[in-house]
Amino acid sequence: MSQSKTLRLLMPQWQGGGNNPAYPLGARLLEWLAPKGNSPTIEVPIKPYDASSIQKERGIVEQSVLLEQLQKCTDIIKQHQPEKIIVFGGDCLVEQAPISYLNQRYDGNLGVLWMDAHPDVTTPKEFQHEHAMVLGNLLGEGDPVFAAKVPVKLNPKKVMFGGLPKTTEQETEVIQRLGLRQATPFELADNSHSIVEWIKEENVTKLFIHIDLDVLDASLFRALLFADPNKEAGFFDHIIHGEMTLPQLTRVVQDTAAVTNVVGVGITEHMPWDAIHLQNMLNQFPLLKD
C-alpha cells in the first residue's frame, strides 16, 4: 500500500480569531467546495464554539486551548509524514503546524507566499488574537509562547507578502527590520511579476501559499468578517480591508505554481454569513428534521 504524499487537513479552529462562531462552518464549507482529490481529509479535533467559556491567558484569547490544538495538528502531520499539505481553516493560526513541519522537512528552505490583507506579525503587546501573530511565530517573533514551538524558523528572505494594502507602525517595523518583501494589491492588479522575480532571485524551490481570504475586496466576495450583513456600515472601518479580486488572486497562484513547486496551500478566514444565517433558519423549520 502506497501512502498518499499529500495530506489534506480540515481545521475548523475559531479560537485564534476570537469570539466568532462563523469559522467552523466556513472551514467545512471550504472543504466541501474544493475539488475532492485523491487523498482523504483528516479533521483536526477542535474544541467547539462556546461563547460563555472564552478566556484570555497571558494576553491571548484561549491561549492554552490553541496550544493543545497546535500540538494535535502537529501530531497528525508527523504521523502521516506528507510531502505536501493542504489546509482548510479556520483562523490563520491553522497554518503554524503545517508550515513549521514543511520548513523542517525541507531543511529550512521553504518559501512562504503570504496572501493576506494583514502581515500577521503582531505580538501580544498589540493584540489579543493569536491568528494575527502566526507568521511572526514562524519567523521567531510574534508570541514567544507559540514561537517556541517552531523548531526551524523561516528564512526571512524566503517570505513574501502579497496583497497588503498598508501596515501599522509596528508591522512596518518588523517587515523592514527582517527585510520581508511585499507586493501591494496595486502591483498585483495586472501581473504577478514581483512574486515570480522573488521566487527566482531567492531560488524558492518549495513554496507554501497561504491565503487569508480577507485579501479580497469584501464588496466582491462577501464571505468575510468585514462583510457581515448584520454589522452597520463603518463598523470595521478601523481594520485594514483587502482590495484584490478573485481572478487576480487566482492568477497570482497560477503564475507562482508555474515557476516553483507548490508543496502547501492553506485557505483561511472563510466566513460565509449567508450560509450561516440560512442554516440557522433551516434548523428552526418544521419538517426538516423528519
Q: Which residues bind a copy of itself (CB under 8 A)?
A: 5-6, 29-30, 32-35, 37-39, 84, 86, 213, 219-223, 229-230, 246, 249-250, 253-254, 257, 262-265, 267, 270, 272-275, 277-290
Which lies closer to a copy of itself via its Cβ, residue 37 or residue 151?
Answer: 37
> What minimum distance in Å lies between the beta carbon of 281 and a copy of itself?
5
- CA dist., res. 198 & res. 178, Å (int): 15
> What minimum distance in Å lies between the beta carbon of 214 and a copy of itself?
13
The DSSP line for 80-136 is H--SEEEEEESSGGGGHHHHHHHHHHTTT--EEEEESSS-----TTT-S-GGGGHHH
**Strand pairing of 261-268 and 206-212?**
parallel
Which lies closer to a copy of itself via its Cβ, residue 154 or residue 223?
Answer: 223
Which lies closer to a copy of itself via its Cβ, residue 179 or residue 229?
Answer: 229
> What minimum distance in Å lies between the beta carbon of 201 and a copy of itself?
21
Which lies closer to a copy of itself via its Cβ, residue 134 or residue 215?
Answer: 215
> What minimum distance in Å lies between the beta carbon of 104 and a copy of itself?
19
- Exposed/middle/buried for 233, CB within 10 Å: 0-12, 13-18, 19+? exposed
CA nearest to 9, candidates 80, 62, 61: 80
> What minimum distance in Å lies between the beta carbon of 236 and a copy of itself?
16
Which lies closer to a copy of itself via its Cβ, residue 190 or residue 232?
Answer: 232
Residues 6+ apart with CB under 8 A from 33: none
- Exposed/middle/buried for 131, CB within 10 Å: 0-12, 13-18, 19+? buried
Residues 6+ apart with CB under 8 A from 250: none
Which lies closer to a copy of itself via its Cβ, residue 83 or residue 197?
Answer: 83
> What minimum distance in Å lies between the beta carbon of 262 and a copy of itself?
4
